[in-house]
Amino acid sequence: MSENSPESAHCHTKRVDGGVTVLEVGGELDISTAPLLASRLDALTAGPRPDLVLDLRPVSFMDCSGLSLLCRAKNRTAARHGRLRLVCDSNRFLRILEHARLAGTFEIHTRLPEAPATACAGPGARAEE
């Protein structure tokens, strides 16, 4: 992808809702944009019991660097007894997770949970809220 392409622009917005951090990630998540997001995710998962929702619906492309980044965030969150949820409504992304044998690794929702702090399905579950 072109460096100057608007699709390659990596944008993310953060908000905190009831103690849950919701990070919307947009654009392409690839080898050139992953380091910037990695720094942000490391900061968000550094404390005890991080509760993080990553909204990946605006992501237009993801390569293995993006998958690696998600796995790292999942591992850091789990090591700190926290919770990581992915919001994604793309069947293409879900197929990528299946082919990478990561489908059961993440708690996946098709839309933002209405009350992110409430309990819902565990790892490997795909909530159809």
Is-contact 97 88, C-beta < 8 A? no
DSSP states of 93-126: HHHHHHHTT-TTTSEEESS--SSTTS----TT-E
pLDDT at 120: 41
Interval 37-64 mean pLDDT: 95
Is-contact 21 112, C-beta < 8 A? no
C-alpha Rg value of the chain to the nearest Å: 14
Q: Tell me: the pLDDT tens digits for 4-36?
A: 444 444 567 888 888 899 999 999 999 999 999
pTM for this predicted structure: 0.79
Domains observed in the chain: 6-112 (3.30.750.24)
